[in-house]
Amino acid sequence: MVQKKKWIFTAIVLVLFTVVALWYKQRSDAPEVMAEKPTMGMRRQTLHVNGLVITPRSLSDGITMVGTLLPDEEVDLSFETSGMITEINFQEGSMVSEGEQLARVNDKPLRAQLARYEAQIKLAEDRVYRQSALLEKDAVSQEAYEQARTELAILQADIEIVRSNIALTKLRAPFDGVIGLRNVSEGAYASPSVVVAKLTKIKPLKLDMHIPERYADQIRRGTRLSFTVDGVNREFEASVYAKESAIDPETRTLAVRAIYPNANGQLQPGRFVTAKIRMEDIEDAIAVPTEAIVPEMGVDKVYCYRGGKAQSVAVKTGLRTESHIHIVEGLQMGDTIITSGTLQLREDLPVKLDIIE
């Protein structure tokens, strides 16, 4: 019985010894596993990135803004007198010329009055002639002669008044343009408050736009610009001819007006346009894609590919366009910059480069 207990005790000790030995073996093997992990991690840190070799590029600085096309001239046509409309001489939507008669109101009473005055003019002139002859012979007084002359002058003035009133019965185009839809018909009663139609001069057109105040001093008479309109697959050229005298304090912009010839009448007033003004052209510039710039602590940096690793270079930037940034200092022609994965790059990080043309 005693021997059996000793055997059991010995077996337990052997089991415990074996367990302890295995535990120590695992502890001794653990550093070897951890030592392998950095090696594996270093292999994974090599990044595949895109690169670009810097070559000369032309850059253009400009302003992009929205604007509205306006007619060169536009007016609501109305009669200067009242009366029944007896003639309408235009087709809606047609071109009319300056001075062309477009409509007329009834002028018969005025013409009758003019005929009466004109019939009296001969008699008045003869009276002045006779009074002048008698005055030379002292047969009439100076006062009688002056009265005859005054009556003639009054009659002539009355004739001019009637003729002017007859002219008011005719509606004429004040300038060349396109006449719109008419709002009246023959037989309608017209007055100065009734708009007959709208007349619009579309050759040339004006372009109204607002530019940021920081560009205000650079915009001058003759500054060229281009603009596009929806639905027309081409660019149009215009030039600035006037600008507002002061900056708008609410929007901090300057109102500018340009002129476009519109020689063929293709564009209509009121259209929305997108305009661009070129402010500066830079030839043979060092320019990098916008995504290549990495701002760090207030400093702009670019990562260059050198010896299979990423090297950061501080740069000074200038003109910015929609896709590129002008590099004033920090890079040279022929440098290879990294354009992708910039947020993952670190100094001296190994990279595998694919050159993008």
Residue 339 has pLDDT above 90, yes or no: no
Task: Tell me if 157 sits within 8 A of 151, measured CB to CB.
Answer: no
Distance CA 101, CA 90 (A): 8
- How confident is the model at residue 102, as a pLDDT? 96
pLDDT confidence of residue 7: 56
Distance CA 187, CA 282 (A): 67
> How far is 337 from 287, CA to CA, in rounded Å?
11
Is the pLDDT at 156 greater than 90? The verdict is yes
What confidence score (pLDDT) does residue 152 get?
A: 92
* pLDDT, tens digit, 9 for 90 and up, residues 59-84: 777 788 999 999 999 999 999 999 99
The arithmetic mean of pLDDT across residues 87-99, rounded, is 95
**Cβ-contact 327, 281 below 8 angstroms:** no
Share of the chain above pLDDT 70, in %: 87
What average pLDDT score do residues 340-350 get? 85
What confidence category does residue 297 fall into, taking pLDDT thresholds of 50, 70 and 90? confident
Is residue 170 within 8 Å of 190, Cβ to Cβ? Answer: no
pLDDT band at 284 (very low <50, low <70, confident <90, very high): confident
Mean pLDDT, the chain, whole residue set: 86
